[in-house]
Amino acid sequence: MFAFGETRARRRPSLTPMIDVVFLLLVFFMLASRFGSEVVLDLSLGGGAGGAAWQGAPRLVDIGPDELRLNGVPVALDTLPEDLGPLLPTSDAPVILRAQGGDLQRVIDVMEALQGAGITQLVLVEGGDAL
Residue 64 lies in a domain: yes
pLDDT tens readout for residues 81-126 = 888 888 888 877 888 888 887 678 888 888 888 888 888 888 888 7
Which is more confident, 97 or 50?
97
pLDDT on residue 106: 87
Is the residue at 89 inside a domain?
A: yes
Residue 15 lies in a domain: no
Predicted TM-score (pTM) of the model is 0.59
Q: Is the pLDDT of residue 45 over 80?
A: no
> What distance in Å separates the CA atoms of residue 50 and residue 47, rounded to the nearest whole number?
7
**56 phi-psi bin (left φ>0, alpha ψ -120 to 50, beta other):** left
In-domain check, residue 72: yes
The confidence band for 1, taking pLDDT boundaries of 50, 70 and 90, is low
Number of structural domains (the chain) is 1
Q: What is the pLDDT of residues 9-30, one digit of tens each?
A: 888 888 899 999 999 999 999 8
71/56: higher pLDDT = 71
- What is the span of the domain harbouring residue 111? 60-125
Instruction: Identify whether 115 is part of a domain.
Output: yes
Confidence at residue 131, expressed as pLDDT on a 0 to 100 scale = 47
Q: Is residue 14 situated within a structural domain? A: no
In the sheet where 60-63 sits, what is the strand order?
73-75, 68-70, 60-63, 95-99, 122-125
- Is residue 79 in some structural domain? yes
Question: Residue 56 to residues 8, 86, 87, 91, 95: CA-CA distances in angstroms?
Answer: 92, 10, 7, 12, 11
CB 69 within 8 A of CB 61: yes
Instruction: Determine, yes or no, domain membership for 73.
Output: yes
